């Protein structure tokens, strides 16, 4: 069996990876551009049963909407409709919220690092649900998630040094 038999579409892998980077990165860029303007927490500051925030102050409506808007706008460049791109971003953000919820329940403070929980839900959810529209196989989906994990681990310290991210992870 050759690698071409396993991987039918390298372009599809790159397309999915780029969409993940855009959907995940636009909230960070919007924070840098807009500061605290329109940064209303998605959880409205709700403290739940364990006396911790539901998600935390860094998960904002602005980040959700900007991610959906920008990803939807660029999606046609990657062969998806704008609606599919916006839905892709929504799934990324829902995965990110699930990660934040999980980290709060485990006692991790906001913006703390737990790389697997930080990256897995936000990359896996859109890749699994939209796999057919992305034109990727299950193995290619796994490769996209793995590449996104590596991308985050390698690029985060650089983005921190460039003052794009608040933390080096």
Domain count, the chain: 1
169, part of any domain: no
pLDDT at 7: 63
Instruction: Please state whether 72 falls in left (phi above 0), alpha (psi between -120 and 50) or beta.
Output: alpha
117, part of any domain: yes
pLDDT at 1: 44
Buried b vs exposed e over 35-53: b needs ≥16 C-beta within 10 Å?
eeeebebbbeeeeeeeebb
146, part of any domain: yes
Q: What is the DSSP letter of 167?
A: S
On the 0-12 / 13-18 / 19+ scale of CB atoms within 10 A, 147 is middle
Q: Would you write out the chain's pLDDT as a tens digit for each of its 169 residues?
A: 455 655 678 999 999 999 999 999 999 899 888 988 999 999 999 999 999 999 988 899 999 999 999 999 999 999 999 999 999 999 999 999 999 999 999 988 776 677 788 899 999 999 999 999 999 999 999 999 999 999 888 887 776 677 766 666 5
- Contact criterion met (CB below 8 Å) for 108 and 79: no
> Domain range spanning residue 43?
13-161
- Contact criterion met (CB below 8 Å) for 70 and 29: no
pLDDT at 108: 82
pLDDT at 158: 78
Cβ atoms within 10 Å, residue 30: 21
Q: How far apart are CA 149 and CA 119, in angstroms?
A: 6
166, part of any domain: no
pLDDT at 166: 67
Task: Please provide residue 43's backbone torsions phi and psi, each rounded to the nearest 5 degrees.
Answer: -90, 5
pLDDT at 32: 86
5, part of any domain: no
Q: What is the DSSP letter of 76?
A: G
59, part of any domain: yes
pLDDT at 169: 58
7, part of any domain: no
143, part of any domain: yes
């Amino acid at each position: 069996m050759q690698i071409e038999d396993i991987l039918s579409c390298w372009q599809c892998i790159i397309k999915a990876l780029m969409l993940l980077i855009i959907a995940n990165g636009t909230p960070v860029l919007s924070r840098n551009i807009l500061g605290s303007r329109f940064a209303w927490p998605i959880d409205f500051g709700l403290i739940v049963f364990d006396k911790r925030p539901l998600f935390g102050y860094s998960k904002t409506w602005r980040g959700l909407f900007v991610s959906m808007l920008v990803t939807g706008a660029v999606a046609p460049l990657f062969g998806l409709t704008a609606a599919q791109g916006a839905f892709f971003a929504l799934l990324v953000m829902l995965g990110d919220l699930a990660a934040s919820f999980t980290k709060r329940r485990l006692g991790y403070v906001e913006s703390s690092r737990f790389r697997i929980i930080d990256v897995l839900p936000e990359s896996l959810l859109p890749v699994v649900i939209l796999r057919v529209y992305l034109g990727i196989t299950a193995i290619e989906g796994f490769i996209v998630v793995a590449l996104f994990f590596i991308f985050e681990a390698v690029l985060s310290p650089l983005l921190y040094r460039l003052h794009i991210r608040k933390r080096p992870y």
